[in-house]
Amino acid sequence: MARSRATSSSMALAIALLFMTFVDQSYGQMKVGFYNGKCGNNDVEQIIFDIVKTTFQRDRKTVAALLRLQFHDCFVRGCDASILLDGGSTEKTAGPNGSVRGYTLIDTCKGSLERRCPGIVSCADIIAIATRVSVFLAGGKWYNVETGRRDGTISRASEANSNLPGPTTPVNVAVQLFASRNLTTEDFVLLLGGGHTVGFLHCSFFLDRLYNFRNTGRADPTMNLSTLSSLRRTCPRTGSNNVVAADQTTGSSLTVDNGFYKAIKGGKGVLQIDQQISSDPLTRNIVTRLASTNDFANKFGPAMVNLGRVGVLTGKQGQIRKSCRIVNSN
């Protein structure tokens, strides 16, 4: 879909992954515009755009859901839509994926495309395209999505549990996990910040920082006192189901911008890993630059493109699922 048309519609154990070579606007067998002419007269990316826009207009948290969905998919077996598969022990059932949303939206996109051109558009590509649309609608810069992924047939909760970094993962470990997927330290900081600039977090993920940081019986001393007071009002010591914005910059929690980096520079990080990237020698200079320049706006899209290249299946690998929730029977 042309950018002009879109404009008018106003982040344990590392697994070995297969990396491909980027040549002439393509990555392996992926390329921008892969579906051009493959769905009759239908514009695949426009169809997805319209469906995501309708959902986004009802629920602006859609962008947070889709960013998390794509990251949690790509970081386990690669960007193969394995997170979408139903089953008693699939990735979807893993602890880190318990609050992942967006499945119904992907189903809606898939259903619409299957009616127009059955067996053509992969669920993995739908995730990538839909996420890009939501980023744009939430104020981020439009970026071109490479397509041509195929869908995986394996999905294991155990792999999600062991491969997804958590809120207390040390920065150096997180950097190594990203590097094992051919993602740079800057990609790590951009993807973490991009997800958390619009993300919402359950109190249980950071309650220790408010009351008993590292079993000291006190709050994390790096947390801004005003932020600490505010978070304690929402998240009592006894626990709750409440959520807070990961980006504590006023007015920025639903917008894809650099507010998150400004917040953590001021000690307002909610998760431990969020606050640590602002002071760790591996990442602090990147955070400072992203907080004080327009680099985030220009570099987040390319970081998402890099994420979208992780462990992709192309050519005759995998399959094009008829339903994103189940593997084709033949």
Residues annotated within the binding site for heme b are 196
Q: What residue numbers does the annotated binding site for Ca(2+) cover?
A: 73, 76, 78, 80, 82, 91, 197, 247, 250, 257
What are the structure tokens assigned to 265, written together?
A: 């520079």
Which CA distances in Å does 60 have to 56, 107, 196, 286? 5, 19, 14, 28
Q: What residue numbers does the annotated binding site cover?
A: 73, 76, 78, 80, 82, 91, 165, 196-197, 247, 250, 257
What one-letter code names the amino acid at 264?
Answer: I
What are the structure tokens assigned to 135, written together?
A: 């980023």
**Residue 72 among the catalytic residues:** yes
Q: Cβ contacts of residue 94 below 8 Å, gap of 6+?
A: 157, 158, 160, 161, 164
Q: Which of 11, 64, 65, 72 is catalytic?
A: 72
State how far the Cα of 274 lies from the Cα of 285, in Å rounded to an integer.
Answer: 14
Q: What is the dihedral of CA 139, 142, 148, 152, to 10 degrees?
A: -20
Place of tokens 């094992």: 180
User: Strands 26-27 and 243-245: what pairing?
Assistant: unpaired
* HEC per residue, 7-55: HHCCCCCCCCCCCCCEECCEECCEEECCCCCCECECCHHHHHHHHHHHH
Q: Spell out the alpha helix ranges (H) of the chain.
A: 3-8, 44-58, 62-74, 103-116, 123-137, 157-163, 171-179, 185-196, 207-211, 225-234, 259-265, 272-277, 284-292, 295-307
Q: Which residues are catalytic?
A: 72
